[in-house]
Amino acid sequence: MEEMRLQGGGTAAAAPIIEFRGVSKTYPTGTHALEDVNIRITGGEFVFIVGSSGAGKSTFMKLIMREEKANTGIIRVNGFNLTTMPRKEVPMLRRTMGIVFQDFRLIPTMNVFQNVAFAMHVVGASDRDVRREVSRALSKVGLGNKARSMPAQLSGGEQQRVGLARALVNSPDLIIADEPTGNVDPNMSYEIVSLLTEINKRGTTVLMVTHDHNLVRDFQHRVIMLERGKIVADNAGGSFQ
């Protein structure tokens, strides 16, 4: 299984797609969400982030997408130095990543096609590219025949697959998903993670937060465990579990 990760694109020597060095995050409320976190994630890896509630998993993801800024330390993502990057470059950083939400975040007044197309239109894609890429992304997640359905007509698993198609449609190098299976029943969860694994095999780095130990056990990927804002375990070398 460790070999499969390496097949995914990265080698230990490759420049990391995500690098945290001595990163701490304290919210204005005084909560120390992350303390002295050091991480290297190589391009092509699939990483589960686990840990109990309040451990700092979401904060870790928010730092990667630069929704929050670290108080100390250095963060590099996809070649961007998030510590020194001005606010107006944040959109460019985000275009290199696809984000999957726990609550799907589909626009209820738009059909499946429009929801996925929205992510392309708002970054300035042409109509022709939108038509081609949206169809491609929908067939990747197995929803080619549901393009005209409204979100409310879909199951939770299907809705999350639309969310996945939307994250994929701009061809990101990195997908980050904070508990994407949190609102999906167990069978569908397996389907979602299978899809993510497939996407990862084609070279996209995947970072996924989850509570589901069964998923972690069954999909043998790298696992980083956070507790009280600190990394307590990391099977980067294949030695975890």
Partner 1 sequence: MKFSSMRYLAGEGVKNAWVNRLMTIASVGVLVACMVIIGLAILISENVNKAVGNLEQQNVVMAYMKDYNWALYGGGSDADTSSGTDSSASDASQDTASDSEEAEAGTSAESSEGSESTESTTDDTDKADENGIKPSDYVIHNDDEAKALCDEIAKIDNVAAVEYITSEEGLESVKESMIEGQESYFTFLDDEYGNPMSGAAKITMTDMSKFDETIDKIMELDGVDTIQSQSDLADKIAAIKRGVGIAGFWIIAILMVISLVIVSNTIRVTMYNRKLEISIMKAVGATDSFVRIPFVVEGMLIGLVSALIAEGLLYFCYRVATETIIATLGTTDIVYYSDVAWWLLLVFIGIGIFAGVLGSVIMISKYLRREGSEFAAI
Ligand X SMILES: Nc1ncnc2c1ncn2[C@@H]1O[C@H](COP(=O)(O)OP(=O)(O)O)[C@@H](O)[C@H]1O
Alpha helices in 112-179 (DSSP H): 112-121, 127-140, 156-168
Q: Which amino acid is at 44?
A: G
Residue 219 DSSP symbol:
S
91 binds, among partner 1, Mg ion, ligand X, none (CB under 5 to 8 A by kind): partner 1
The half-sphere exposure of 96 on its side-chain side, counting CA atoms within 13 A, is 17
Q: Which stretch binds partner 1 (CB under 8 A): 24-32, 78-86, 93-101, 154-162?
A: 93-101
| C-beta closer to partner 1: residue 62 or 228 | 62
In DSSP terms, 76 is beta-bridged to 19, 81
Residue 205 binds to Mg ion (criterion: CB under 5 A):
no
Count of helices and strands (H, E) across the chain: 8, 10
The minimum distance between CB 197 and partner 1, in angstroms, equals 21
Residues facing residue 77 across a β-bridge:
18, 80
Instruction: Record the tokens describing residue 22, joined without a space.
Output: 């001595």
- Smallest gap from Cβ 143 to ligand X, in A, equals 28
End-to-end Cα distance, the chain: 13
Nearest CB to ligand X, comparing residues 38 and 155: 38
Give the bridge partners for 37, in sequence order.
23
Q: Which of residues 122-181 bind partner 1 (CB under 8 A)?
A: 122-127, 166, 170, 178-179
Q: Which is nearer to ligand X, 44 or 229 (CB)?
A: 229
Of 105, 131, 211, 228, the residue at the interface with partner 1 (CB under 8 A) is 105
- Report, in Å, the least distance between residue 130 CB and ligand X: 33
For residues 191 to 220, the per-residue mask of contacts with partner 1, x marking binding by CB under 8 A and - elsewhere, is ------------------x-----------
- Kindly write down the DSSP assignment for every residue of 83-119, as one continuous string: TT--GGGHHHHHTTEEEE-TT----TTS-HHHHHHHH
Stretch that binds partner 1, among 14-22, 25-33, 83-91, 142-150 (CB under 8 A): 83-91
Q: Binding residue for Mg ion (CB under 5 A) from 9, 41, 58, 76?
A: 58
Q: Tell me the site size for partner 1, rule CB under 8 A.
A: 35
Count of Cβ atoms closer than 10 Å to residue 240 Cβ: 13
